[in-house]
Amino acid sequence: MKHLLKLFIALAALGNIGCIENDIPYPVVKLAITDLSGEGFTVKEIDPTQQIVTLTLDETTDIRNVRITQAAYTEGAKPSTDLTASSHDMRVPIQLTLSLYQDYVWTIVAEQQINRTFTVAGQIGASVIDAGNRTATAYVGKDADRSEVTVTALRLEPEIYENEVNTTTYSPTLEQLSGSSFETVRVVDVTCHGRTEKWLLYVLPTDRSVALEAADAWSRVIWLYGSGVEGQKMGFRYRLAGGEWQEVADVTVDGGSFSARLAAEPETTYEVLAYCGDEQTDPTSVTTDPEQALENGGFENWCTLDGIVYPYADGATPYWGTGNKGSKIANATLTDKGDPRPGSSGKYSADLKSQFANIFGIGKFAAGNLFTGEYVMNAGTNGIITFGRPFTLRPTKLRIWVRYNRGVIDRVKSYPAGTEIKVGDNDNGHVYIALGTWSAEEYGKDSTGEQRGSSDSPICIDTRDVSTFFKSDGKDVVGYGEYVFKESVEEWTQITIPIEYRTTGTRPTHLMIVCSASRWGDYFTGSTKSEMWLDDFELLYD
């Protein structure tokens, strides 16, 4: 009986053990795609907030047959499928789940720019090409004879060469189409990547003979765009309010489209019109923007708070930021320097020095840096910063004074995908300017999803996660310019950095300037001998 009682108690105990709940909390490890590589594409953007990877396909890449050869993920992540096992039809996004303690669903999308043209003699304005529906439309005058149309250019798919022979073919060919009737739609079979698809070509009449398509007024430039009848004289005229009309010089004509760059004065109202032959548009009134200088662009204002040097006056609202707060004053990477550039009216310049910094008692490489934004906080031995300051104008150049000592790389932690950097390589200095339409809602979260950016400084960079690093070809970048220092600059030298804009019609919301004595400093890679001196930053608007 005693033995039976002991057995019953033992079984009951085992039963209780089997009922113990597994309530041990698992750690939260956010999983991400950190890099992809393959044939015929580059990674445009890895967005950790939306969990989207955007690929830019080469023009000649077959979008239905994209091969990914390597995929990198957060350490420990288990992907739901092997991306390298087969090719992908990137007309449809790829859904991929990464699992460890939790699941994270990522999406891979592709974009591809293909240069397509369809033009005819006597065309008015630019052609309209709808690749999704495979239609191309050119416009001619309402009285034009469409029974015999001269086709001047036809390119609807990329040219794919094999053994120096273009395998992309058209039926009928350009020569067969030219001189034929376009009174109704023409169907063309286009063969590319071994597939044949039908395109519809239209030549349609329009009452419009000339139009002013856009007049984008910046501070000292007005960008003019018009459309007219190909073969006729086309151009623009302008005047100050109540003044005499003047001809705009240096007009660029492309078929039935034309454009020009008109030099102007800030905060001035102009009237502009487009003409073609004897026809002209009604005048349009535009007012140019003002000019705005960079705050503390001469680096004359400095303060020291809690033993840390900052590039703004005591009590002032910060405009420029620095990594000094992260690297601590014992290894300050930015200081004021009583060594202004020759001829400067000021007394100071900015001194950026890359160092092996003491961060919480741990040695770590810290690049000498200066940027528009702010250092938010330390995340262990990493840093969280924000880039950007409100700015709605469109300067054309950034002009700076600089000296630079380029060191030999002696610290390597990591480097960008697609590059290989090793101890003994030469370091590079880097200064870049970007203007864009970034929002804190989209760009302001750190790698854990915590909101760090604001309307005053929207872009969060978290050095724990390279996917948060700034990308100059990001979708919301409006203009960008950079200068990479591949040699030392021993004497103070003035350098002008042109800003290239994707479009003249988009107004930015923020401006970003980033300067680093070590180009790969956000990867904790560079030379402790690299040092950069900066002075008198100036935005140009001509």
Is 20 inside any structural domain?
A: no
In degrees rounded to 5, what are phi and psi of residue 406?
-90, 120
Contact 131, 118 (CB under 8 A): no
- Taking only Cα atoms into account, the Rg of the chain, rounded to an integer number of angstroms, comes to 30
DSSP-derived secondary structure for 488-542: -EEEEEEEEEE-EES-SSPPPSEEEEEEESSTTGGGT-B-TT-EEEEEEEEEE--
Q: How many domains does the chain have?
A: 4
Q: 182 and 121, same structural domain? A: yes
Which of 27, 96, 36 lies closest to 466 in space, CA to CA? 36
Q: 242 and 138, same structural domain? A: no
Domain of residue 67: give its range. Answer: 33-112
Q: 493 and 378, same structural domain? A: yes
pTM of the model: 0.80
Residue type at 482 in one-letter notation = E
Which of 457, 424, 428 lies closest to 443 in space, CA to CA? 457
Q: 314 and 275, same structural domain? A: no
Q: What is the pLDDT along the chain (542 residues), one digit of tens a residue?
A: 444 434 343 434 444 444 445 566 678 888 999 899 999 999 988 887 789 999 999 999 999 999 999 999 999 999 999 999 999 999 999 999 999 999 999 999 999 999 999 999 999 999 999 999 999 999 999 889 999 999 999 999 999 999 889 999 999 999 999 999 999 999 999 999 999 999 999 999 998 899 999 999 999 999 999 999 998 999 999 999 889 999 999 999 998 999 999 999 999 999 999 999 999 999 999 999 999 999 999 999 999 888 888 999 999 999 999 988 765 543 456 777 888 999 999 999 999 999 987 665 667 898 999 999 999 988 877 889 999 999 999 999 999 999 999 999 999 998 887 788 999 999 999 999 999 999 999 999 998 889 999 999 999 999 888 888 998 988 899 999 999 999 999 999 999 999 999 999 999 999 999 999 999 998 999 999 999 999 999 999 99
Instruction: Give the three-state DSSP class for 5.
Output: helix
Rounded-to-integer distance, Cα 390 and Cα 466, Å: 25
What Å distances lie between residue 414 and 33, 356, 365, 423, 518, CA to CA?
A: 17, 15, 11, 11, 13
251 burial level (CB within 10 Å; 0-12, 13-18, 19+): middle
- What do you get for the CA distance between the two ends of the chain, in Å? 103
**Residue that is last in its domain, among 79, 112, 145:** 112
**Residue that is last in its domain, among 74, 89, 112:** 112
**Residue that is last in its domain, among 206, 228, 261:** 206
Half-sphere exposure of 330 (CA within 13 A, CB side): 9
What Å distances lie between residue 347 and 25, 41, 495, CA to CA?
A: 58, 49, 20
256 Cβ neighbours under 8 A, 6+ residues apart: 119, 123, 124, 125, 126, 139, 227, 228, 229, 230
What CATH number is given to the structural domain containing 82?
Answer: 2.60.40.2340
Sign for the CA dihedral angle at 413, 418, 424, 428 comes to negative
Q: 497 and 372, same structural domain? A: yes
Q: 464 and 334, same structural domain? A: yes
What CATH number is given to the structural domain containing 263?
Answer: 2.60.40.10
Q: 96 and 141, same structural domain? A: no
